Amino acid sequence: MNTRSNMFKVAVVGGEGIGPEVTAQSHRVLNWFVVNRGVPVTLREAQYGIIPYLATGKVLPEDTVEAMEEADAILWGATGGPETKEVPAAARKAGSLLSMRSKYDLYANFRPIVANPALADSAPLKAEVLKGVDFVIIRELTSGIYFGEPRGIETLPDGQRRGFNTEQYTTEQIRRVARSAFELARTRKRKVCSVDKANVLETSVLWREEVVALHAAEFADVELTHMYVDNAAMQIVRDPRQFDVMVTGNIFGDILSDCAAMASGSLGMLPSASLGPVDPYGRRKALYEPVHGSAPDIAGKGIANPLGSILSLAMMLRMTLDRPDDADLLETAVAAALAAGARTADIAEAGAARLSTAQMGDAVLAALEKVAGKQKESA
């Protein structure tokens, strides 16, 4: 990135499964903002997964590495699925999403959970439980059991096989993600719930001690509570309104954020942002992606919900591009499209018309035009 330029560079990587399909729609929406709102970005598309592997022998080819290296933000689709059996495990590991998170030190994963009233009839939880739900899960993303060593599978002397992984955290790894949670809470309701398993795990004992110490030293103006992870899972589906900002470790955050999808209507609705440290120029490397996976069972059918990817773009507008008004505009347009009855199969009520992936993109773009037009009229 040329630090003298005011342009932001965005790499668009659809990946595998439904990734290219949903990312194509968020790409369309980003282009709308470039043309109609003057958002200062240059876009570069790049490939990831089985297609480049068959051509180059790498799931992450050099062109894609270059695109992501120079990018301020990466708009990511999805990775994985049965079709990737054609890719050897070593090649897959070398270019895995975990390795990218580690390479760019994308340690803070933000996952907003917002219940849209228009989806009350199709949501798996009762409408009264979902009313007013609006919280954020911040998951530590580059440490914990997914990265700890030693790990592996071994054969014991008696012939049994044993798998083992290492859960570990350091003071700095805990404090920097907790700081992200406290800072975000200051812009919201000033409430942080730290989730751990301190009654069983030493890493959680350390986690709680370090969060408490950071709170006392720097964030006494923010309310801090603690919750064991099993209780947190229950509370997310029992009374999700109680939460504002939740911060937790890697594996707990992975599980809880998928559980929290039930408080938003569908996993296909959930966006996310993964942010690295601030560089000397005040910018942070960031990867934006829908929380859903590659969903190979519906890949290529054109029926996947692109709203998780489109709402991830809204997070990019707010967190990397510093365009909060445009982020609000996009979120308002998505809400308007849903209120008007736009539904993909995963969020459709019984008997409701079901839009294709591209048609949902059309609905959001039409809503953008309408909402932006109203804003001009009232200005």
Give me the percent of the chain exceeding a pLDDT of 90.
75
Q: What CA–CA distance (Å, rounded) separates 77 from 69?
A: 17
Looking at residues 279-303, what average pLDDT do you find?
A: 91
Predicted model pTM: 0.92
Identify the pLDDT of residue 83. Answer: 60
Compute CA distances 91 → 56, 88, 181, whole Å.
11, 5, 35
Summarised one tens digit per residue, pLDDT across range 158-169 is: 999 999 999 999
Catalytic residue of the set 63, 258, 328, 362: 258
Catalytic residue of the set 53, 107, 146, 288: 146
Identify the pLDDT of residue 273. Answer: 97
**pLDDT range class, residue 323, cuts 50, 70, 90:** very high
**Cβ count near 321 (within 10 Å):** 22
Q: What is the mean pLDDT of the chain?
A: 93
Q: Is 254 a residue of the active site?
A: yes
**Helix or strand (DSSP H, E) at 232:** helix 229-238
Helices (H), 109-191: 127-130, 171-185
Looking at residues 25-50, what average pLDDT do you find?
A: 95
What tokens appear for 354 in the block? 């079901």
Catalytic residue of the set 72, 196, 254, 346: 254
Compute CA distances 75 → 98, 130, 273, whole Å.
16, 29, 10
Q: Is 297 a residue of the active site?
A: no
Summarised one tens digit per residue, pLDDT across range 16-33 is: 999 999 999 999 999 999
Catalytic residue of the set 169, 196, 197, 326: 197
Strand order in the sheet with 191-196: 41-46, 8-15, 73-78, 284-290, 271-278, 108-114, 134-140, 245-248, 191-196, 223-228
Q: Is 146 a residue of the active site?
A: yes
Name the 3-class secondary structure at 351: coil
Whether pLDDT at 141 is above 70: yes
**pLDDT range class, residue 123, cuts 50, 70, 90:** confident
What tokens appear for 336 in the block? 């308007």
Q: Is 197 a residue of the active site?
A: yes
Q: Is 288 a residue of the active site?
A: no
